[in-house]
Structure 1
Amino acid sequence: MRSWPEVTIPVVPGSGPGLRLHDSASDQVRPITAQGTATLYVCGITPYDATHLGHAATYLTFDMVQRVLRDQGLDVRYVQNVTDVDDPLIERAQRDGIRWQDLAERETDLFRFDMEALRISPPDEYLGAVETMDLVVTAVERLLDSGQAYRLEDGTGDVYFDVATDDRFGYVSRYDAQTMLELSAERGGDPDRAGKRNRLDPLLWKGKRDGDPSWPSSLGAGRPGWHIECAAIALEHLGEQIDIQGGGEDLRFPHHECSAAHAEAITGLVPFAGHYTHAGMIGYDGEKMSKSLGNLVKVSGLTRDGVEPMVIRLALLRGHYRDYREWTDDYLDASERTLSLWREAVRRPIAPAAEATIATMRACLANDLDTDGAVEAVTRWANQRPAHNDSGLAVQAMEDAVDALLGIKL
């Protein structure tokens, strides 16, 4: 699948402290221990109603992770999927009277456009579910062969993962059984499906249904479950263990819990990811912004209304990435003023020395992505008056640092 164009990121002399990032499995902010190359998998969109600000905030979070790691001298190997065949997508296409393939293509194109506008670094591998069927089939076969998966005996051809074979199941989310059951029912699971061994067992392969898209395979005609898709892609393109698995807080369970369980069952290696990192939700009118609620503020809608993408990016950098944030137009107004201040500062012929401000930015971002602290440091610098012995070199240094570390083009 085609990604979007690469973002040119300036190199800023020096480096900051190593990145410390929150891990949901331990509920601790811990160092990223990668050497040489850091591996990152971020779960992608199901392409309908793309791209709302909740999406944008999540992918911005992991763009920031990449920028900090690269500034520290690491390479980053980044993979992202697109769940371009799934029940919600098919249901939306049927509702709107269009082919599910056309809906997926249209919304994925819009997502690419929005990511490019926001200067989000593209993944090295950008893969749709429909182009990774062989990977999924092989993964499911391995789980069946090891006895960690089973077929339902109702003739549907459905295959499920047996959570009872995983004595660590639940360690990623740290939720109790009742909470997991409730979230499974809310987020695409089927805890009340007859014939399952355990109500929490997730679907690996959905057998062919009349009117439903399906693919021929050694498992029988059908299509992948949601969680095995990401496990299979990550294992193929990043290796048996990765440094960071990322996504929104709503993926903590069941998606990341189950995809980690699948990967660990296939490889026998624990943990699948050194960090399971989750971005908080963006709210609007008192509710989490989501497709199901329909309370979406879309990046494309804001840009059509004349809002500059850099204003949107800066607005999404305010507040901590793990916090729930209620979106209002005040975010845009404040960010527009801040961006204007920064741009005025770098248009001066000379500017205050930049070294201390850049060091503060690096320290803030290395501390679990304290973007508020980094933004405030730039604003303090922009409000300073140059002294007689200040240099024009500081102007370029700050312009490069704001671009490289925050992704804001001044």
Structure 2
Amino acid sequence: MRLFDTRTQEVVPFVPAQTVRLYVCGITPYDAAHLGHAFVYASFDALIRYLECIGHTVHYVRNVTDLDDDTLRTAAKRDTHFQVLARGEAAQFDANLARLGLRPPAVEPFVTDNVDAMIPFIQGLIDRGVAYSLPDHRVYFNIDHPNYLAFSQLSKDEALEQFREKGGDPDAPDKKNTLDFLLWQPSENGQPSWPAPWGAGRPGWHIGCSVMIHEHIGATMDIHGGGSDLVFPHHESEILQAESLTGQHPLARVWMHCGMVALEGVKMSKSLGNLVFLGDLLNEYSADAIRAMLLNNHYRANWTYTTEVMDAAQARVHRWQRVVGDRTGGPITQAEIDGFNDPDLTEALAQLGDQLEDDLNTPGALAVLDELADTQRAKALFMCGRVLGFFQTLR
């Protein structure tokens, strides 16, 4: 298998061990899951299913960032406790991904359940001289570090612009560098707070993932994934924190980042309010149709959603279903494939594997399904479709 590694900016060989350790950044649950979320998690679902199909176990961890400024702000606006808001939205998110037929993670850690582990982690960074505390209880990571911006490959000016846009505090007083990022901050009145050696407060954004990775996977992993909007500052910061504390690197053998989804040419975002919600789509279209629409875009591509694209995916899936007939099935396994003494099926699965091992080329994999439908090879279509998570339900 070959995958594009964001860190090296190259398509590199990926030789999976028997167990593949995968961490994908999860949601900040202050609103419903939208199509951008679905694209990321459907892409990694295809990767997980293929790796399992060829005999590997995937230890999949996907976090929930239930403690951040947006969640606290939204909870206050709705006059509800932030955890009531976050847990409710996270549960609805999980339910919609299940309706889409995506595999749940093996572990789904919440930031608030891991704060106690963050405190010694931050203290370790202070002890190593790469972080510093201020009298008002703020703790910052000092970006005066030889590897800073090596991952994102941004200039200092580009980094400053993104840092400001994504919630950074470049103008905060007493920082050593404008781009130093928060590890810990004092809580305002009514906000959650935890005791810590440098003063009560709450963690910053980036430290959460570094600690949850350390707690639930270890010092290094095979694949780290997320949306391309997380490259800087989030993943840049994760790397510095984790590798500075443990001395082990790389944090991830391969970094996979998914492209952004647009509506009418404008990137979907909560701030712009131009979202297509997954729950709404599931009320109108089949899960297979939504999966086909998502996977028809390469995971690294930026693309635009239209109702015409969605309708075309529904028609495509209906054509597959007419060929397959009334069949449903769960995840396909290598043992199940080995049980078929069918040269046609073996050839079809090899063609599918060629596409998926080529940097997870899901559009090419769907084209294999189309060709099987065109030639009325029902059994091969059904089995290959199951590799990608299709044909789980009849609709």
Asked if residue 330 in structure 1 is aligned to residue 308 in structure 2, the reply is yes
1:96-118 CA deviation, whole Å, 9 max, x = no partner?
33322221122101111111011
Q: CA deviation at 1:348?
A: 8.9
1:137 aligned residue (89, 114, 119): 119
Residue in structure 1 matched with residue 369 of structure 2 by the alignment: 378
Separation in 2, partners of 1:119, 1:25: 31
Residue in structure 2 matched with residue 10 of structure 1 by the alignment: none
Q: CA deviation at 1:262?
A: 0.4
Q: CA deviation at 1:323?
A: 0.9
Separation in 2, partners of 1:172, 1:32: 19
Separation in 2, partners of 1:348, 1:168: 55
Q: Structure 2 unaligned runs (5+)? A: 328-341
SS in 1 for 2:101: coil
Q: CA deviation at 1:357?
A: 2.4
Which stretch of structure 1 is more off in the superposition, 360-369 or 69-78?
69-78
Q: CA deviation at 1:292?
A: 1.3
Residue in structure 1 matched with residue 105 of structure 2 by the alignment: 123
Residue in structure 2 matched with residue 158 of structure 1 by the alignment: 138
Separation in 2, partners of 1:68, 1:346: 20
SS in 2 for 1:163: coil
2:50 aligned residue (39, 45, 68): 68
Separation in 2, partners of 1:202, 1:396: 54
1:103 maps to a residue whose letter is L
Asked if residue 317 in structure 1 is aligned to residue 295 in structure 2, the reply is yes
Q: CA deviation at 1:408?
A: 4.7
Residue in structure 2 matched with residue 112 of structure 1 by the alignment: 94
Separation in 1, partners of 2:27, 2:299: 19
Separation in 1, partners of 2:295, 2:254: 21
- The aligned runs of 1:97-246 (5 Å cut-off) are 97-152=79-134, 155-164=135-144, 166-246=145-225
Could you say if the C-alpha distance between residues 406 and 342 of structure 1 is closer, same or farther in structure 2, counting changes exceeding 3 Å?
Answer: same
1:89-134 CA deviation, whole Å, 9 max, x = no partner?
1112222333222211221011111110112111111110110011
SS in 2 for 1:101: helix
RMSD (Å), alpha carbons: 1.9
Q: Structure 1 unaligned runs (5+)? A: 1-18, 386-393
2:99 maps to a residue whose letter is A
Residue in structure 2 matched with residue 6 of structure 1 by the alignment: none
1:255 aligned residue (218, 222, 234): 234
Residue in structure 2 matched with residue 12 of structure 1 by the alignment: none
Contact kept? 1:68, 1:366, Cα under 8 Å: no
- The aligned runs of 1:223-372 (5 Å cut-off) are 223-304=202-283, 306-347=284-325, 353-372=344-363
Residue in structure 1 matched with residue 333 of structure 2 by the alignment: none
- The aligned runs of 1:30-109 (5 Å cut-off) are 30-109=12-91
Could you say if the C-alpha distance between residues 67 and 232 of structure 1 is closer, same or farther in structure 2, counting changes exceeding 3 Å?
Answer: same
Q: CA deviation at 1:230?
A: 0.3
Contact kept? 2:63, 2:109, Cα under 8 Å: yes
Separation in 2, partners of 1:196, 1:272: 27
SS in 2 for 1:125: coil
